Structure 1
Amino acid sequence: MSEDYPYWPDEFVRKYREAGCWRGETFGGMLRERAAAHGDRSAIVGGEERVTYAELDLNADRLAAGLKGLGIRKGDRVVVQLPNVPVFFDVIFALFRLGALPVFALPLHRRSEIVHIASYSEAEAYITIDKYAGFDYRTLASEVKAEVPGLRHVLVAGNPGDHLSLEETYAHEIPAIRGKLHPLQVDRSEGQASDVREEQPGTPDAGPAPGDTAFLQLSGGSTGLPKLIPRTHDDYIYSLRRSAEVCGLDGGSVYLAALPVAHNFPLSSPGALGTLYAGGTVVLARSGSPDEVFPLIRKEKCTIAAVVPPLALVWLEAAKTRGETLHPLQVLQVGGAKFSEEAAKRVKPELGCTLQQVFGMAEGLVNYTRLDDAESVITGTQGRPMSPLDEVLILDDEDRPAAPGTIGHLLTRGPYTIRGYYKAPEHNARSFTPDGFYRTGDLARMTPEGNLVVEGRAKDQINRGGDKVGTEEVENHLLAHSAVRDAAIVSMPDEFLGERSCAFILSRDPHTGGDELRSFLRRRGLAAYKIPDRFEFIDSFPQTGVGKVSKKELRQRIAALLLEEAGVKS
């Protein structure tokens, strides 16, 4: 447990343990058990690389020993920014074994985000890749290291350039594994087994306890840069186990990771980690492009995949154009943003697989439509909570229970929903009720059968096809430009992504346009998806009765303008 964030009260800890939710498992122990049971089975497939459970277990031990040699210890934070490559799993399980905390950054993040994440978490190290999708992460790493003095190590998978080589960090001999020979510990150069031993429990280097923090994830960042979400071994492994049960995963399941695996959705719902918990195989795709994933589904006989709504639409159109289905895929999960009912109705007849809607959040609560639900439930709702111990409230603006079937604010608590963000006491006071319910910021209603229908966001956040854009952060960057007097960013409806962003600007210089401001934001190291899709220059902002900028009116204004433009084009 940690003093850096609120933990579950003792009565809830007892409740969740007695109910069998928290079984005292850790990620390191989970992998060890799966390796013992399924040693020769493929755990991870990425390109031409296939990693068995036994190999993954060994790789995690060797890398853990190497990281320990660099001084990485239990409780240290390590920013991990890796794309969908097999070494991602070596890294996170090595850190789990040490009790060090991965801080999951996303491949799209750039200097602004990584500097914030590394500084806020007080990271000891940053692990990334050399190049990916045309971007050189080594240059980014140099910039981050220059701005974060406390960052002691930068490790790079591939050609490290001026940084440490991740590959060379793996130890040839492991001084610590259970006081006995590791079944696969063989020196690759000599072909001889090494004596491999583990510190005994209770020593300073003993691994984490089940109630310890396992890692830190990023919030959607509705107010400025992301907050950090602490997840424990106990609560997150329960989430994996329950997700795998709801989704029907077993040792024969083959999960296609078409989204970046550091996202909570493809990591755990049931995602890559849920698949490993079930003893199945994870297939990594470099992108979600139909040109890559359609042949991969056939080649690897994938049974389940997860996408966000815009990608689901791309797959639907590609399948229609090509005259093919996604056979042998059995389940297509769609989550990360609301999936329109009309698009949802197309999945089964056009792709030949069952749709499963997923609505959840990195802070905890996950809802699924069940695979045997009626088609109207699957296409028209976002499912129901996966755990019988999930508690859900729908409240009106005065925090009173909303009338049945009406829209209200969604609140939740449960055995895998956090009780507070990492080192954020002021935000925790706003985001959590005194009795521990998390204010999700979602507007929803509940059907008589207990399924949720998500109706939008109460928080000022833009959901751009599953990528969350915190408007305050982007506004702050814009205000650094000498020509910008004020900025207000709002969502605008988009048929493809659900929402795009529009920046309303009060300008000091009539010659400064949108192209200049886009270039300025790129130069400041902002991720591409956060750069506004449209700029509107106006003379004044509409105001609320208390003098605040009325973003509601700005949203109405841009929606009306889009309708007017569409009318002109038609």
Structure 2
Amino acid sequence: MSSIDDPQNIGDIIRHQGREIPDDVAFEFEGDLMTFRDLDRRSNRAANALASLGVSKGDRIAYLGKNSHLYFEIMAGAAKLGAVMTPVNWRLARPEVAYVLNDCQAKVLFVGPGFAELVGDIEGQLEHVAKIFGAQGPEENFASYPDWRDGFEDSDPLAECAVEDDAIQLYTSGTTGHPKGAILTHGSIFSSRMNDRNEDELMEWQKTVPGEVALLAMPCFHISGTGYGLGTIFSGSKAVVLPEYDPTQALDLIENYNISKIFMVPAAIQILLNHPRIHEVDFSDLKYITYGASPIPLELMKRAMEVLGCGFVQMYGMTETSGTIVTLDPEDHVPEGSPKMRSVGTPLKDVEIKIIDDSGNTVPAGTIGEIATRSPKNMKGYWNRPEATAETIDADGWLRTGDAGYLDEDGYLYIQDRVKDMIISGGENVYPAEVENAIYAHPKVADVAVIGVPDQKWGEAVKACVVVKEGEELSEAEVIAHAREHIAGYKCPKSVDFIPALPRNPSGKILRKDLRAPYWEGKDRAVN
């Protein structure tokens, strides 16, 4: 078995922590404590239980539910078999959940509280799922995972599993209406952490502090949640897990659990700052807030620094890069603001960044182009999508992010726009094509284009520009309600403009920039 100095997989990390710091708490969830010994032994039981159902190396299992410490336990059990965890976005509509479960070919599904009815509705559509369990206990017609797990031995299966093997499959919104499964390997997930174990080379915020407590509040169906939880396992620190982000609970936990680190999206920071108790809470134990998934307004950042009084680290990355690849360190966050605060920072160790033109040529500093990256953190590819993988990652390993930006002379990266039409609302990725497909199905809609417009709370809000069929009448409420039947609520338009015709170029492509322009006038960049 590998040592911590030469880990081959997630299971190796958990084995090490279970041996070296067995009594330290790994996770606390709604009063339930899970030590590293518990995590190690229970994940062994989970692995043996999964193996009894025929789950083996390369097989996918899935989890549909809000955050829980048991999610990480099940993931660890799968990792010890070489199987792959696929967390499903619980905010998706029923057809979308069914699509993800069928696409990843999950053999076993774990369902969190509140989602048994949804799964019951689509169970007959699931092509590969052989067994369904209630993740935290019995759920209607589904047996209890903890009870099932405890019927198996806690001996380690010690399955062969290498750094290049698949570990987690996270789904990203699709440009053509269907999401794609990004395959993250054991190596891509922990490469930056394990390559940086020399404490002398780390920034202060990257160092592990004995006894530190992190708050895990972002959803585990995103890399921000899963990656953050795995990070606390790797560092041997404690994570207090929230089922979902709630500002009142977050403030209570910060106050009562000596929380020292949190990852949040900018919208969550804003919601926290607007809470009526914000000036009553003692934030003296809070050392760092890391934030990302969407840009943050400078004024909001300055207010957060003033009220919370901790260090801030901006993170830039994506699912396809196993999370963070560029950081803006606390030293670059200054209360009076600076040009560097409009950047997302500089690349992490072993991460290469370049800016390319339409032909793939590198452009000089200060020139806007598409951001490309190469590092051990890049995904393996998209699940069963060789063409999409080839479009994203070239033969030399450079991954095209779809974001437009530039590098300054000091190597700081600035995001200017998105090459693709993706909208980021409250940290969630929304692709116009997906929303347009849902709206276009309405019998009274002749044409539709979806854009992102500035929103003070969410950064961007989804707006639909709709052309109604001749002789028909359609209201904003009808459009939104129709969309909600087919796609997740956060993807649905928050507002609808009815226009006589969509602007198009000679080849028929919708000129989204023309639609967006009036709403972004006066902004210094086309993302909010």
- Does the alignment reach a TM-score above 0.5? yes
Q: What are the within-5 Å matches in structure 2 for residues 140-289 of structure 1?
A: 140-157=118-135, 158-174=137-153, 176-177=155-156, 198=157, 206-241=159-194, 245-246=202-203, 247-268=206-227, 271-289=228-246
Deviations 1:349-407 (A, max 9, x none): 221101111111111151112344463477332121112x2111112334332231232
Q: C-alpha distance in 2, partners of 1:419/1:72?
A: 21
Deviations 1:11-50 (A, max 9, x none): xxxxxxxxxx994421111101001111011100111111
The answer to whether the 8 Å contact 1:220/1:470 transfers is yes
The answer to whether the 8 Å contact 1:370/1:378 transfers is no
Q: 2:420 aligns with which of 434, 459, 462?
A: 459
Deviations 1:520-549 (A, max 9, x none): 22323x211011111122221111132211
Distance 1:130 1:286, change over 3 A: closer
Does residue 294 of structure 2 align to residue 337 of structure 1? yes
Distance 1:265 1:275, change over 3 A: same
Distance 1:174 1:323, change over 3 A: closer
The answer to whether the 8 Å contact 1:369/1:377 transfers is no
Q: Which residue of 2 aligns with 1:182?
A: none
Q: Which residue of 2 aligns with 1:6?
A: none
Q: C-alpha distance in 2, partners of 1:486/1:287?
A: 36
Q: What are the within-5 Å matches in structure 2 for residues 324-473 of structure 1?
A: 324-364=281-321, 366-373=325-332, 375=334, 376=338, 379-387=341-349, 389-473=350-434
Counterpart AA for 2:272:
W
TM-score normalized by the length of structure 2: 0.90
The answer to whether the 8 Å contact 1:77/1:100 transfers is yes
Q: C-alpha distance in 2, partners of 1:367/1:359?
A: 5
Range moving further from structure 2, 153-162 or 406-415: 153-162
The answer to whether the 8 Å contact 1:419/1:436 transfers is no
Deviations 1:57-101 (A, max 9, x none): 111111222222222222111121231222111111111112111
Give how far 1:311 is off: 1.2
Q: Percent identity at matched positions? A: 26
Q: C-alpha distance in 2, partners of 1:71/1:374?
A: 51
**Runs of 5+ in structure 2 lacking a partner?**
524-528
Q: C-alpha distance in 1, partners of 2:385/2:99?
A: 14
Counterpart AA for 1:441:
G
Deviations 1:468-506 (A, max 9, x none): 011111211222222222221111111221111111122
Counterpart AA for 2:153:
I
The answer to whether the 8 Å contact 2:182/2:380 transfers is no
Q: Which residue of 2 aligns with 1:482?
A: 443
Aligned-partner SS, 1:79? strand
Q: C-alpha distance in 2, partners of 1:496/1:173?
A: 48
Aligned-partner SS, 2:382? coil
The answer to whether the 8 Å contact 2:49/2:152 transfers is no
Q: C-alpha distance in 2, partners of 1:522/1:423?
A: 29
Q: Which residue of 2 aligns with 1:522?
A: 484
Q: Which residue of 2 aligns with 1:554?
A: 515
Q: C-alpha distance in 1, partners of 2:196/2:325?
A: 9
Distance 1:378 1:44, change over 3 A: farther
Q: C-alpha distance in 2, partners of 1:77/1:27?
A: 16
TM-score normalized by the length of structure 1: 0.84
Q: C-alpha distance in 2, partners of 1:277/1:160?
A: 32
Q: C-alpha distance in 1, partners of 2:276/2:309?
A: 10
Q: C-alpha distance in 2, partners of 1:24/1:89?
A: 18
Counterpart AA for 1:148:
L
Q: Which residue of 2 aligns with 1:50?
A: 33
Aligned-partner SS, 2:95? helix
Count of paired positions: 507
The answer to whether the 8 Å contact 2:184/2:380 transfers is no
Q: C-alpha distance in 2, partners of 1:266/1:519?
A: 30
Q: C-alpha distance in 1, partners of 2:164/2:496?
A: 47
Q: 1:129 aligns with which of 112, 135, 142?
A: 112
Range moving further from structure 2, 115-124 or 163-172: 163-172
Counterpart AA for 2:211:
G
Q: 1:294 aligns with which of 251, 255, 261?
A: 251
Distance 1:290 1:121, change over 3 A: closer
Deviations 1:134-155 (A, max 9, x none): xxx1111123321123221221
Does residue 72 of structure 2 align to residue 79 of structure 1? no
Q: C-alpha distance in 1, partners of 2:196/2:229?
A: 11
The answer to whether the 8 Å contact 1:81/1:106 transfers is yes
Q: C-alpha distance in 2, partners of 1:160/1:243?
A: 43
Q: Which residue of 2 aligns with 1:34?
A: 17
Range moving further from structure 2, 88-97 or 247-256: 247-256
**Runs of 5+ in structure 1 lacking a partner?**
1-20, 132-136, 178-197, 200-205, 563-570
Does residue 271 of structure 2 align to residue 314 of structure 1? yes
Q: C-alpha distance in 2, partners of 1:520/1:119?
A: 25
Q: C-alpha distance in 2, partners of 1:146/1:243?
A: 47
Q: 1:513 aligns with which of 475, 478, 498?
A: 475
The answer to whether the 8 Å contact 2:272/2:278 transfers is no
Q: C-alpha distance in 2, partners of 1:538/1:383?
A: 40
Counterpart AA for 2:329:
R
Q: C-alpha distance in 1, partners of 2:130/2:299?
A: 51
Give how far 1:225 is off: 2.2
Q: What are the within-5 Å matches in structure 2 for residues 56-75 of structure 1?
A: 56-75=39-58
Give how far 1:415 is off: 1.1
Distance 1:69 1:452, change over 3 A: same
Counterpart AA for 2:40:
D
Q: CA RMSD in A?
A: 2.4
Q: Which residue of 2 aligns with 1:88?
A: 71
Q: C-alpha distance in 1, partners of 2:424/2:483?
A: 19
